[in-house]
Chains A and B, each alone.
Chain A
Amino acid sequence: MADNKGVLILAEVVDGKLAAIATELLGVGRKLADDLGEELGALLVGSEVSGIAQEAIAFGADKVYVVEAPALKDYRTDSYVPVVEKVAKEVMPKILLMGQNSVGRDLAPRAAFRLETSVSTDCVELAIDADSKQLLMTKPVYGGNARAIYTTESMPQMATLRVKAGEPLERDDARKGEVVNIDAGLDESAIRTTVKDTVLEEIKGIKLEDANIVISGGRGIGGPEGFQELEELARMLKGAVGASRPPCDSGWVPDTIQVGLTGKIVSPDLYIAVAISGSSQHLAGCGGSKNIVAINRDPEANIFKEAAYGVVGDWKKIIPAFKEKAKGLLA
């Protein structure tokens, strides 16, 4: 244990740039590293990623470990787990962090078991305990009804960070850091899965995760027609449409617009929840919004406990009038 030092984060790359989660991890990791008085490392894995090393430094890394191989272009469990294992054994970090997203959800648990350590997934807060110097990992449990704080003695202390739970640093291109190449040492015959196809849902308009205004509908919308009304409103407000799980499960809207614990995490300035009861699992995905507005016919609905503004009543009467008024105001 005494030999483990520093903080290492997995820096994911999307479209040739650092992913938002990578900058968030660097922000959180920087603070942890400073509190320990140790280094912050970033691990870049992919086929052509070395060009991004400087960006990771600009966002806070002291050292960037680059692992490149053609087979690492896309994420595969069996190609990434051995890379994380190899790097973790060479670098020996005290703390190893990833994002709680498509990659981290799959990679972190398997890598943790491979390294014979543990991982606390979906953390919303990470801090160093002033006395023990251990990592305190705070994670919502029971769908968000409670939070647990975990620690571990096993090394490295691993956690995944919830998307948008961390604050990136201001980009500073004058920052200096070191880049270290590590050989992937991949045995491609050990990759046991093949991806035959990738099917992507077409996104119309603004991306849900990037929108400043999100209008989400729940079970009470009643069918796909109602969502068309929300869609029109969203277009008018230059926002995006989301949903709770039941409309996705019922096929009224694509699964990809589900907001919540097991869907997308959004934190717009304005989140309008229409006919959504406000389950803890749904709030896990929108609780970070600056302002929640609830429209629900049940005055006791839990969503009103989270909302800044609310209207009690039938959305079918409220939304058209809201739209009409907003149109006038925006004109």
Chain B
Amino acid sequence: MNMIVCVKQVIDPEAPPASFKIDAATNSVVPPAGVPPVISPFDEQAIEAALRIKDAKGGKITVISLGTGLLRDVVKKPLSMGADELILLEDPAFDGGDSWSTAAALAAAIKKVGEFDIVFCGRQAADWDSGQVGSGIAEILGLPSVTLAKKVEVGDSKVTVERVIPDGYEVVEVGLPALITVSNELGEPRYATIKGIMSAKRKEPIIWAPADLEIDTAQIGAAGRRVKMLRLFQPVREGACEIIEGEDEADAGANLAAKLAEVKLL
């Protein structure tokens, strides 16, 4: 089984909301001081989905990440979890793109990798939360796609995917090759092993520039953008919280019920 997983480095989405700052003048996010970036959590789950298949059936996992300022310790994490190869699309020309140009560049890289049975993506990147690069890659490469997977099982020439729907899940069968996006219901990604960390340290990523791909530079990065961001802002939080007190915690709880009844919320 040859698998490709697309992972994105993002600002840690679990950093406390109070640490989140933007620079309004440049419409950009100021990375919080002292909080290192991470692989977008759903992408780690995508790696986990691929690793479970590798555990069961064997195979090779190639990881692709597009971005600038990619920290080696961060983007090598999939290798330390058990992935085999890391390709970085790390070139200023890929930068400042939107979902369209990002999908175009990743699709070109996947084509260059050549042999694959499954492409995995996360359901959405934890920074821009757009949730479309996966479907975009599938459309560009003409692959069937199944989004929001919570379980992926490989049979002969097809996969069975449990796909999350609002009140449960669907069991979907799709032929290979296919693109699958992974949701958190898949379960916790595994930890890196010491052995994995050691071998990841020694492994150098492969770096591809636009010239290495069969793609027109007008289609990638900022040049290929179809969506323009006019403004980035932080919504103002209004409203003050009335703290209900009491003689002790239980009393405060009773007072809360009385208050809610008084304002007709109960």
Contact = CB atoms under 8 A, between A and B. Distances in A.
Given A262-B183, A302-B16, A322-B256, A143 B265 contact: no
A262 B123 contact: yes
Given A154-B226, A311-B244, A249 B184 contact: yes
A265 to B, nearest CB: 10
Interface string B101-135: 00100000000000000000001101111111011
A67 B21 CA distance: 47
B139 to A, nearest CB: 4
Interface string A243-274: 00100110000011000011010000110000
B9 interface: no
A288 B258 CA distance: 24
B135 A106 contact: yes
A305 B241 contact: yes
Contacts of A139: 129
B169 interface: yes
B69 interface: no
B261 interface: yes
Contact of B129 (A78, A261, A264, A310): A261
Interface of B: 11, 13-14, 16-18, 20, 22, 29, 98-100, 103, 123-124, 126-132, 134-136, 138-140, 144-148, 150, 160, 164-175, 178, 183-185, 187-188, 226-235, 237, 239, 241-244, 248-261, 265-266
Contacts of B13: 142-143, 281
Contacts, number: 255
B233 A192 contact: no
Name the 4 nearest CB pairs between A and B, nearest first. Answer: A109-B132, A318-B253, A321-B253, A313-B249
Interface string A275-298: 000111100000000010111000
B20 A119 contact: no
A193 B165 contact: no
Contact of B242 (A136, A203, A255, A309): A309
Most buried by B among A302, A313, A314: A313
Most buried by B among A256, A294, A322: A322
A308 B139 contact: no
A175 to B, nearest CB: 30
Give the interface size class of chain A. 35 or more
6 contacts: A78-B144, A145-B17, A213-B265, A313-B252, A322-B254, A325-B254
B248 A279 contact: no
Nearest to A317: B249
Contacts of A322: 253-254, 256-257
A112 interface: yes
A199 B171 contact: yes
Most buried by A among B185, B249, B255, B258: B249
B239 A308 contact: yes
A269 B264 CA distance: 10
Nearest to A152: B227
Contacts of B144: 77-78, 192-193
B221 to A, nearest CB: 15
Contacts of A194: 172-174
A120 interface: yes
Contact of A255 (B14, B174, B185): B185
A109 B136 contact: yes
Nearest to B126: A143
A262 to B, nearest CB: 7
A57 B233 CA distance: 37
Interface of A: 77-78, 101-102, 105-106, 108-110, 112-114, 117-122, 136, 139-143, 145-154, 192-201, 203, 213, 237, 245, 248-249, 255-256, 261-262, 264, 269-270, 278-281, 291, 293-295, 302, 304-314, 317-326, 329-330
B100 A118 contact: yes
Most buried by A among B127, B233, B239, B260: B260
B143 to A, nearest CB: 9
Nearest to B139: A113
A201 B145 CA distance: 24
Contacts of A237: 266
A309 B252 contact: no
A161 to B, nearest CB: 14
A118 B227 contact: yes
B247 to A, nearest CB: 11
Given A198-B165, A329-B257, 16 more contacts: A77-B145, A106-B145, A113-B135, A146-B20, A149-B233, A192-B144, A193-B172, A255-B164, A262-B183, A293-B256, A294-B241, A302-B16, A312-B252, A318-B250, A320-B250, A321-B249
A198 B20 contact: no
Contact of A325 (B130, B170, B187, B258): B258
A309 B256 contact: yes
A264 B243 contact: no
A151 B227 contact: yes
